[in-house]
Structure 1
Amino acid sequence: MSSPVVVARPAALRRGDPGFRPIAVGLFCAGFTTFALLYATQPLLPALVDAYGITPGTASLSISVTTAALAVGVIPASALSERWGRRPVMVGSLAAAVVFGLAAAVAPGFALLLVLRGLEGLALAGLPAVGMAYLADEIDGEHLGGAMGLYIAGNSVGGFGGRIIVSAIADLTGSWRWALGGIALVSGAFLVAFVLVLPVSRRFRPRPVGVGELLGAARAHLRDPVLRRFYAVGLLAMGVFVCAYNYVTFLLLGAPFRLPALVVGFVFVLYAVGTATSTRAGRLADRLGPRPVLLGAAGVAALGAAAMLTTWLGVVIAGLALLTVGFFAAHTVASAWVGRRAEHGRAVASGLYLGAFYVGSSVGGTLGGVAYGVAGWPATIGFVLVLLALLAAIVWPLRADRLAPPGWPLPASPERCR
C-alpha cells in the first residue's frame, strides 16, 4: 500500500524574490481602494453640514458608521477567508464596496446615505484583516515589516489621493454627489488592477472554520497581553488620526485662515508622508523592535498636535504632517507585529486588530466632534493629546524578546517583555 503524497509548502517570499513585487503592488492597489472609499465623505463634511443643516458631529457619522460597520465585519470576513481563501474574499469585498459607493452618491436623504455608507463599510471589512493575513502567510518574517509598510503606503496614497479627487470634483461640479460617484469609479479602476496583479495564495490552505473554533481563536488572542497592547495601539492611533483630519477642515475653512475648499482638500496630500514613513518604520522595527519606534511615533504625533494650536498656517500644516508621520509609523509597526506574534489564526488576530483600529476611528471621530462642538479646536487637540498619552503608557512595558512566537527572528539586543 502506497503512502500518501505530502506536498511541500512553498518557501515564504523574501524581498527580491520574483513573487514579492506582484504581491506588494496588488495590495498597494487594494489599500488605495479601501481608504479612498472608506473616508470619501471626510473632505465633504462642511458640504453635508450645509446641505442637511446638521452639526459637524452629525455629519461625521457618515464616516463613523462606515468604520463601525467595518469593525463589526472584520472577524466574520476573516472566517470566510479561512474557508474560501484570501484572494476571493478580498476581490468580492472590494467589488461590493464600489457598488455601495456608487449607490451612496445618489441617496436622496441623509438617513439613507448613512445606511449605504454602513453597508459600504461592512463590505470593506473583507480587505484589511484578510490582506494583513495574506501578507503574513506569504512573506518571510524578516521582511514582513517592509511588506506591510508597502501595503499601508497604498492606504496612505488612497487616503490623500481619494480626498484630493473628491475635493476637486466637488469644487469643479459644485456637487458632493458627483464627488462620491467619481471616487467610486476611480476605486473601481484600482480594483481591476488589483485583480489582474495579485497572485493566488501559495502557502495558504483553505479549511472550514466553525463558530466555536473562531471564538476560541479570538479568545486565545485576546488573552495574550502583548496582542492586547498592539490592539490598543491601533485603536488609539486611529482615533488620533481621524479626529485630526475630520475637524481640521473646519479650522482651515473658518477664521482666521478662510481657505478655499479646493485648497483645503489638498491638505490631504500630507498623507503622502505616510507612504515613506510606513515602509521605513516597519523596517526599523524589524531591526530594533516595536517599542522604541512606537514611543517615537507617539512623541512625533504629540509634537505635531501641539503645533496645530497656533494661528500660523505654515505651522499648522507642519504639525499635521508630523501627526501623520506618527500615525502611519505606529499603525505599520503594530499591524506587522500582530502578524508576527500570532503563530496560529492570523486572519482572526488581524481581524481583531482591525476591529480595534476602526472602533478607534468611529469613537475618536465622534468624540472629537463632541469636543469641537463644546469648546472648539483647542478642545479637539486636547482630546488628541490625551489619546497619545494613553498610547505611550500602553507601549512602555513592551520589551523585545517575547514579542514573537518561537522560530521568528527577533531584533538585535532584545530586552524583556513584562
Structure 2
Amino acid sequence: MNMTARRRVRDLRLVWALCIASLVIYINLYMMQGMLPLIAEHFQVTSARSTLVLSVTSFTLALSLLVYAVVSDRVGRHRPIVVSLWALALSNLLLVFIDDFQTLLFVRFLQGGLLASLPAIAMAYFKEQLKPQIMLTAAAVYITANSFGGIVGRLLGGAMSQLFDWQSAMLVCLLFSIVGVGVTHYLLSRTRDAVKREHIRQSWSERLNFKKDIAGFMHHLRDSQMRLAYLIGGITFMMMVNQYSFIQLHLMDAFNWSRFQVTLIFLCYSSGTIASYFTARWISQHGQLPLYRISLAMMLVGSLVTLFDTEVAICIGFLLSSCGFFVTHSCCNSFVALRATTHRAKATSLYLCCYYLGAAAGGPYLMLFWQHSGWAGVITGSMVLLSLIAVFVWRLGYRQRQAMLPHPVC
C-alpha cells in the first residue's frame, strides 16, 4: 500500500473513531432525557424534579469544556479522549446500583465532566490531522453524528423506559458504551503515528503557563460581539432543550402518551438537522443577521403554535422551533469560528460552555413556570427568553454597524 493510500485509510479511521465516540457521548448525555418518566417513577420524585438529571450533567459538561481545551494543548488530543471515554463507560456501572435520586444526581454530575472531552477536542484533532479539504467533510460528518446521537439517545431512552426496569436499562447502556469505546480506542490507536507532538517539545514552564490560557479566554470575553454570540447561543439552547423535557410531561398528562411515544417528539429535531446542513450556504448568500431574525421568528411562532394544544399543533410547533434553533446555533458557531483569529480552540470552548450552561440553567428556570401554569407557563417563560434573544440580536447588529463606520481622524 503506497503512502497516499495509507494516509487515506488513517484519515478514515480517525473520522470513524470520533464519530463513533460522538454517538457514545451524546447517547449517554441525552438518553436520560428520554427516560424522565421512568426516573420519576423509579426514584419516586416529581416529573418536574426529574429534569434536574439533565441540568446537572449539562452544568459540569459546560465547565469541563474549558478544562479540556487547556489540557489537550498540554498532553495532546488522543489521551484525554481515550481516558475520559473509558471512565465514562465504566461509570455507568455505578448507575446500575443506585437507589436514591440524590446519588443519581451526583453520578450524573461527575459524568458531565467526562462527557466534555470529545466536544472540546474533536475539531482541534481534525484540524491537526487532516488536510483542509478533508477536514471540512470530516467536520460535517462529525456534526451529523452529534445530531444523530442526540436523537437516538432520546429514542433509546424512551424505548428502554418502556421495556425495561432501571437496572436493566443501565446494563444496556453500560454494554453499549463499552463496545463503542472499545471500537473508538482501537481505531484511534491505529492513527497515533500521525499525532503531532509539539507539546513534547514544550518545557514544563510552558506547560504550566496558565496565565497565557487565561489571557486567551479573556481576549474573547472582552470582545462585545463574541459575548453577544455566546449569550444568543446559550439562551437559545436554554429554551429549546428544556422545552423538549417539559413537553414529554405534558404529552403524558394531557394525551396519555406512553413513555416511548413521548420520545417520538424528538424526531422533530430532524427539521433542524436538515436546516443546519444548508445554513453555511444561507450565511454566504444572506449574511448571519437576517438568519438570526428569521430563526428567532420561527422559534417564536413555533412556541406559540403549541398553545393550540393538539397533537398536530405541538408537532408542527416543535418542527418550526427546532429548525429555528439549529439555524441560530449554526450561525453562532460560524460567527465565533470566523471572528476568532487567535486562540480559536478557546473561543469555541467558551461558546460551548455558554451553550451547555444555558441547558443547565433552563431546567430550574422553566420548572418554576411549569409548576405554576403547566405547559402554558413553559411558553410564557420561553417568551421571556426569546425577548432577551431579540435584544441581543439587535445589539449584535448595532455593534457590527458601528464597527463598519469610518473612524474620525484626529
TM-score interval, smaller chain: 0.7 to 0.9
* Match of residue 75 from structure 1: 66
Q: For residues 286 and 17 of structure 2, what CA distance do their matches in structure 1 show?
A: 28
Residue 107 of structure 1 aligns to a residue whose secondary structure is: coil
Q: For residues 268 and 337 of structure 1, what CA distance do their matches in structure 2 show?
A: 27
The match for 1:262 among 260, 263, 269 is 260
Any idea what the Cα deviations from partners look like across 1:100-140, whole Å, max 9, x if unmatched? 23322321221111111011001112121222434555678
Any idea what the Cα deviations from partners look like across 1:55-83, whole Å, max 9, x if unmatched? 23321111111111111211111111101
Q: CA deviation at 1:265?
A: 2.1
* Match of residue 302 from structure 1: 300
* Match of residue 177 from structure 1: 167
Residue 254 of structure 1 aligns to a residue whose secondary structure is: helix
Does residue 89 of structure 2 align to residue 91 of structure 1? no
Any idea what the Cα deviations from partners look like across 1:243-270, whole Å, max 9, x if unmatched? 1111011111012x11122211222222
Q: CA deviation at 1:378?
A: 0.6
Any idea what the Cα deviations from partners look like across 1:315-350, whole Å, max 9, x if unmatched? 101211222222222222312332232222222222
Q: For residues 162 and 59 of structure 1, what CA distance do their matches in structure 2 show?
A: 17
Q: For residues 391 and 309 of structure 1, what CA distance do their matches in structure 2 show?
A: 21
Structure 2 residue runs of 5 or longer lacking an equivalent are 1-7
The match for 2:51 among 48, 53, 60 is 60
Q: For residues 383 and 9 of structure 2, what CA distance do their matches in structure 1 show?
A: 44
The one-letter amino acid of 1:125's match is A
User: Cα 1:291–1:189, aligned 2, differ >3 Å: closer, same or farther?
Assistant: farther
Q: For residues 417 and 385 of structure 1, what CA distance do their matches in structure 2 show?
A: 33
The match for 1:350 among 326, 341, 348 is 348
User: Cα 1:349–1:118, aligned 2, differ >3 Å: closer, same or farther?
Assistant: same
* Match of residue 8 from structure 1: none
Does residue 201 of structure 2 align to residue 211 of structure 1? no
Q: CA deviation at 1:300?
A: 1.6
Q: For residues 243 and 319 of structure 2, what CA distance do their matches in structure 1 show?
A: 11
Does residue 151 of structure 2 align to residue 160 of structure 1? yes
Q: For residues 300 and 68 of structure 1, what CA distance do their matches in structure 2 show?
A: 27
User: How many pairs are equivalent?
Assistant: 389
Contact kept, 8 Å, 1:82 with 1:347, in 2: the verdict is no
Q: For residues 283 and 142 of structure 1, what CA distance do their matches in structure 2 show?
A: 17
Q: For residues 323 and 352 of structure 2, what CA distance do their matches in structure 1 show?
A: 19
Residue 45 of structure 2 aligns to a residue whose secondary structure is: coil
Alignment of 1:38-49 (within 5 A): 38-49=29-40
Any idea what the Cα deviations from partners look like across 1:262-288, whole Å, max 9, x if unmatched? 211222222333332222223432454
* Match of residue 189 from structure 1: 179
User: Cα 1:87–1:293, aligned 2, differ >3 Å: closer, same or farther?
Assistant: farther
Structure 1 residue runs of 5 or longer lacking an equivalent are 1-16, 404-414
User: Cα 1:99–1:402, aligned 2, differ >3 Å: closer, same or farther?
Assistant: farther
**Normalising to structure 2: TM-score of the pair?**
0.84
The match for 1:293 among 291, 301, 304 is 291
* Match of residue 3 from structure 2: none
Q: CA deviation at 1:86?
A: 2.2
User: Cα 1:277–1:97, aligned 2, differ >3 Å: closer, same or farther?
Assistant: farther
* Match of residue 122 from structure 1: 113
Q: For residues 393 and 130 of structure 2, what CA distance do their matches in structure 1 show?
A: 26
The one-letter amino acid of 1:127's match is L
Does residue 244 of structure 2 align to residue 253 of structure 1? no
**Higher mean Cα deviation, 329-338 or 115-124?**
329-338
The match for 1:340 among 332, 335, 338 is 338
**Higher mean Cα deviation, 147-156 or 58-67?**
147-156
**Higher mean Cα deviation, 288-297 or 156-165?**
288-297
Any idea what the Cα deviations from partners look like across 1:288-327, whole Å, max 9, x if unmatched? 4332223222222222111111122011012112222222
Residue 259 of structure 1 aligns to a residue whose secondary structure is: coil
The match for 1:330 among 328, 344, 360 is 328
User: Cα 1:216–1:28, aligned 2, differ >3 Å: closer, same or farther?
Assistant: same
Contact kept, 8 Å, 1:289 with 1:400, in 2: the verdict is no
Q: For residues 366 and 254 of structure 1, what CA distance do their matches in structure 2 show?
A: 20
User: Cα 1:348–1:289, aligned 2, differ >3 Å: closer, same or farther?
Assistant: same
Q: CA deviation at 1:147?
A: 5.6
Any idea what the Cα deviations from partners look like across 1:125-169, whole Å, max 9, x if unmatched? 212122243455567889988765543322221111011112112
Residue 249 of structure 1 aligns to a residue whose secondary structure is: helix
Contact kept, 8 Å, 1:74 with 1:354, in 2: the verdict is yes
User: Cα 1:285–1:217, aligned 2, differ >3 Å: closer, same or farther?
Assistant: same
Q: CA deviation at 1:229?
A: 1.6
User: Cα 1:246–1:158, aligned 2, differ >3 Å: closer, same or farther?
Assistant: same
Alignment of 1:395-406 (within 5 A): 395-398=393-396
Alignment of 1:116-155 (within 5 A): 116-135=107-126, 148-155=139-146
Q: For residues 383 and 154 of structure 1, what CA distance do their matches in structure 2 show?
A: 31
Q: Percent identity?
A: 27
User: Cα 1:321–1:209, aligned 2, differ >3 Å: closer, same or farther?
Assistant: farther
User: Cα 1:103–1:277, aligned 2, differ >3 Å: closer, same or farther?
Assistant: farther
* Match of residue 410 from structure 1: none
* Match of residue 372 from structure 1: 370
* Match of residue 106 from structure 1: 97
Contact kept, 8 Å, 1:230 with 1:334, in 2: the verdict is yes
**Higher mean Cα deviation, 386-395 or 214-223?**
386-395
RMSD: 3.1
**Normalising to structure 1: TM-score of the pair?**
0.83
Q: CA deviation at 1:226?
A: 1.9
Contact kept, 8 Å, 2:292 with 2:328, in 1: the verdict is yes
